[in-house]
Amino acid sequence: MISSSRFTWQQHVIAVDSNPSRSTVNSTAYTFTYEQIEPEFHVSREVAVLGLSLFVIGLACGPLFLAPLSEFYGRRWIYIGSFIFVFIFIIPCAVAKNIETIIITRFFDGVAGSTFLSVAGGTIGDMFDKNELSMPMMVYSGSPFLGPALGPIIAGFINQYASWRWTFWVLLIWTGVQLILIAVVIPETYVPVKLRQKAKALRKSTGNEKWKAPIEIMTRSLTKTVLYSCLRPFQLLFFEPMVLLLCLLSAILLGILYLFFGAFPL
């Protein structure tokens, strides 16, 4: 069995996928399409807002199973797979013929985009030592608040001069560029998966099947890990008062932030 000390990366490496602001920009840029969507699809403001609400719900649901998957398959492939689905689900929004298409695909777009709100924290932990982690984690934690503020600004310019569909086309182009960058630039940072890749290379080069990484001999099943990942956040929420208070504070702040987006067009 092979082992390794902590896997360290040079600190000047910038992880494109560690910044979740693109996902949160996607959530709020949609709010400036209301004025054109409502008359075109003959829906009320309450129905149009569902596209925002379900996207945020998707952001909340996705980490429950995407985060543990990254511990089995590595950060890189979860990023690439998730971003492919983000890219795919923006297309139906851009060409939608009814509001139902937008609402449903926005939910799945939120689920796929949630990877960068959950897994990216692990990537930062892989790249920096514990005594150097505070500043990168602070920048990462601020991104979910920066993204929603940028979304209406970007979409405001687009919808002032073009159709609401161009909001999604611009997001699609942006997503495509980032997908290429992630696939080309971002390496695998999760140590157990790196060790598994090293063990496979050793088995292939030496013909010795005894080379095994710790992740290859563990008895933990994927199903149990995902189920436990769905249960653990609620255990922390209900049994840890400090976690509950911090979550309530974050919920109030994000709630107020997202309420502003209804006022911006006015």
Kindly list the structural domains of the chain, giving each domain's residue range(s) and its CATH number in brackets, ordered by start: 16-187 (1.20.1250.20)
| Residue 193: closest CA among 179, 214, 174, 175 | 214
Mean pLDDT of the 241-254 span: 90
> Which has the higher per-residue pLDDT, 147 or 244?
244
pLDDT at 18: 40
pLDDT digits 0-9 by tens, 61-104: 888 888 788 877 888 888 888 889 999 999 999 999 999 999 99
258 residue type, one letter: Y
Question: What does R_g of the chain's alpha carbons equal in angstroms?
Answer: 21
Query: At residue 41, does pLDDT exceed 90?
Result: yes
* Residue 50 C-alpha from the chain's centroid: 20
Q: What is the mean pLDDT of the chain?
A: 81
Task: Go through 193-209 and write b for each residue having 16 or more CB atoms within 10 A of its CB, e for each that does not.
Answer: bbbbeebeebeeeeeee
Query: At residue 5, does pLDDT exceed 50?
Result: no
The answer to whether 54 touches 108, Cβ cutoff 8 Å, is no
d(CA 30, CA 24): 10
pLDDT at 4: 46
The answer to whether 266 touches 152, Cβ cutoff 8 Å, is no
For the chain, the farthest-separated pair of C-alpha atoms sits apart, in whole angstroms, at 69
* Residue 177 C-alpha from the chain's centroid: 16
pLDDT at 10: 42
Write down the H helix ranges in the chain: 21-29, 34-41, 45-61, 63-73, 75-94, 99-113, 115-127, 134-161, 165-185, 191-206, 214-217, 222-239, 241-263
| Residue 143: closest CA among 260, 23, 243 | 23
The answer to whether 147 touches 30, Cβ cutoff 8 Å, is no
Mean pLDDT of the 159-165 span: 88
- Say what percent of the chain tops pLDDT 70: 88
Query: At residue 179, does pLDDT exceed 80?
Result: yes
Mean pLDDT of the 166-172 span: 92
Task: Go through 127-166 and write b for each residue having 16 or more CB atoms within 10 A of its CB, e for each that does not.
Answer: bbeeeeeeebeeebeebbeebbeebbebbeebbeeeebbb
Residue 60's CB is within 10 A of a number of other CB atoms, namely: 13
Q: How sure is the predictor about 15, in pLDDT bands with cuts at 50, 70 and 90?
A: very low
Query: At residue 163, does pLDDT exceed 60?
Result: yes
Mean pLDDT of the 218-228 span: 74
Query: At residue 184, does pLDDT exceed 80?
Result: yes
**Range of lowest pLDDT (2-16, 50-64, 191-205, 210-224):** 2-16
This model's pTM is above 0.85: no
Q: How sure is the predictor about 219, in pLDDT bands with cuts at 50, 70 and 90?
A: low
Q: How sure is the predictor about 265, in pLDDT bands with cuts at 50, 70 and 90?
A: low
Query: At residue 23, does pLDDT exceed 80?
Result: no
Mean pLDDT of the 33-43 span: 91
d(CA 120, CA 115): 7
d(CA 6, CA 123): 13
Structure tokens at 60: 């909340």
Q: How sure is the predictor about 216, in pLDDT bands with cuts at 50, 70 and 90?
A: low
